[in-house]
Amino acid sequence: MDWVWAAGMVGATGSEGGHDVTGLLLTVLVIFVAAKIGAEIFERLKQPAVVGEILAGVIVGPQVLHWVEPSEVTFALSELGVIFLLFMVGLETKPSDLLAVGRQALLVAVGGVVLPMVLGYFFALHYGTTQVTALFIGAALVATSVGITARVLARMGYLHTRTARIILGAAVIDDILGLLVLAVVSGFARTGAADIRQIVLTGFYAVSFVLFMLFFGCRVMARALPAIDRLRIGQSVYLGAIGLCLTLSVVAGYLGVAAIVGAFLAGMALSEASEEIGLHRHFDNLSEFFIPFFLVGIGMQLNLSSLANPSVLAMCLILTLLAILAKVIGCSLPVLSMGGLRAMQVGVGMVPRGEVGIIVAQLGLGLGALNDDLFAVVLFVAVTTTMVAPPLLAPLYKSEPRVLHVDEDATTAEVGVDIS
């Protein structure tokens, strides 16, 4: 799936059409510093740092200060950010952990697809849209941006919990189901009918890829790592891990699955060996540099000018509320047997739409299924649900024991439950 971004980054190109390195570095500097200032402010307010980083994108982006415009460069940095984020999450997720929650994750994913799709579809029809437009709005509510939830849980030290494993497993399944939904909707938008053969092939490739990595990824890497370690180039294992992350991200993209799923599976394939070779301490700094570009990039997409229209604003607010309730209810009911608190952890963890919802919106706009106002509405829902989820997650996990990476010799350590 291709994103269509406005090419207008400050100083991105020089007067002769070549790249202006100074302007590019200035853009990187502005995004990075703004993200860290926003994160610091929200940390001091005892709120998740990701909200501050997303708000930083709103402020420095085209809606407020106009310091940075979305471009191919900012998009590339954003994609690298979420890819390394999911790779880091994969390093902390052993295949056995996901298999242990497989049934629950599947039920959560199905609930998180069906209810949002149905509510979004009928809500759009109620507003007088066509069936194809209604299908696109429903599809935009289906997606889950696991990157946001993973970032919050990782920073707070809760990735080891059972509910976090369910969220991660459900998010992978959700991506496959969302892919199939999008294939059906896109087919209707283009030709008025779905290409069943293409849908079946896409689903087969995606499921086969995930299952192969889930069952055989660790075994393959256990045999490959010693050979990689014998290479004479410096940091060969570290470089091999980066190569695997990027390779599986590309493979996932060619199979029609989100690149972040490939990055997550790459990390999971290395999870068994991660503690022994200390991959975490190598990737912590790398991911801390790239992840802010992902979060700021989401904030830059919010279109505040659309809110000046009262009817558009009303639709934004109602659809956002429906999007939150649909995910919370649809994803928490299948795990209600775990208790109300843990069911809510799963439900809220599946709420963010983030970059996935934006992709669906841009595809709908390109196919003519969404007009500018509806595009702005879906964009508002994607960004707002992404910002709302982290503050809701923090108190829900406050009673859980934390596990954080603290130094080079010890990969994890138990610490207190205070998240400040």
Q: Where are the domains of the chain?
A: 21-398
Cα dihedral 389, 391, 393, 396 in deg (nearest 10) = -140
What 3-state DSSP class applies to 352?
Answer: coil
CB distance 146 to 260 below 8 Å: yes
- Average of per-residue pLDDT across 390-411: 67
Nearest 5°: CA angle at 334, between 401 and 178? Answer: 100
Select the highest-mean-pLDDT range: 25-34, 46-55, 155-164, 404-413: 25-34
User: What percentage of the chain exceeds 70 in pLDDT?
Assistant: 86
pLDDT digit string, tens, across residues 321-372: 999 999 999 999 999 999 999 999 999 999 987 666 777 777 787 778 888 7
Residue 406 has pLDDT above 70, yes or no: no
| Cα distance between residue 4 and residue 359, in whole Å | 9
Confidence of residue 45 (pLDDT cuts 50, 70, 90): confident
Residue type, 352: P
Pairwise CA distance, residues 350 & 373, whole Å: 26
pTM as predicted: 0.70
Which pLDDT value is given to residue 149? 78
CA–CA distance, 335 with 308 (Å, rounded to integer): 40
Distances (CA, A) of 349 to 147, 282, 389: 10, 27, 7
In angstroms, what CA-CA distances link 310 with 18, 103, 137, 377? 43, 44, 19, 12
**CB atoms < 10 A from the CB of 403, how many?**
17
Cα separation, 125 vs 273, whole angstroms: 51
Q: Of 259, 297, 325, 327, which is closest to residue 112 (Cα–Cα)?
A: 327
Query: Coil, strand or helix: which one is 403?
Result: strand
Arithmetic mean of pLDDT over the chain: 79
* The total number of residues written for the chain in this structure: 420
Instruction: Pick 219 or 179 by higher pLDDT.
Output: 219
Fold classification of 21-398 (topology level)? Na+/H+ antiporter like fold (1.20.1530)
Q: Which helix (H) or strand (E) holds 134?
A: helix 131-142
Instruction: Report the pLDDT value the prediction gives residue 327, as an integer from 0 to 100.
Output: 93
Q: How confident is the model at residue 192 (pLDDT cuts 50, 70, 90)?
A: low
More confident: 293 or 288: 293
pLDDT per position as a tens digit, 2-44: 333 333 434 344 444 445 788 888 999 999 999 999 989 988 8
326/294: higher pLDDT: 326
% of the chain with per-residue pLDDT over 90: 17
Tell me the pLDDT tens digit for each residue of 58-94.
899 988 999 998 888 888 888 888 888 888 878 877 7
Banded pLDDT at 279 (limits 50, 70, 90):
confident
Residues 269-281: what's their mean pLDDT? Answer: 73
Whether the predicted pLDDT of 412 surpasses 50: no
Task: Name every residue whose Cβ is closer than 8 Å to that of residue 228 and which is 6 or more positions away in sequence.
Answer: 236, 237, 240
Q: Please state which of the ranges 126-130, 131-135, 144-148, 269-273 shows the lowest mean pLDDT.
A: 144-148
| Ordered DSSP codes for 324-346 | HHHHHHHHHGGGGGG-HHHHHHH
Average pLDDT over residues 199-216: 80
Closest CA to 84 of 215, 300, 220, 238: 238
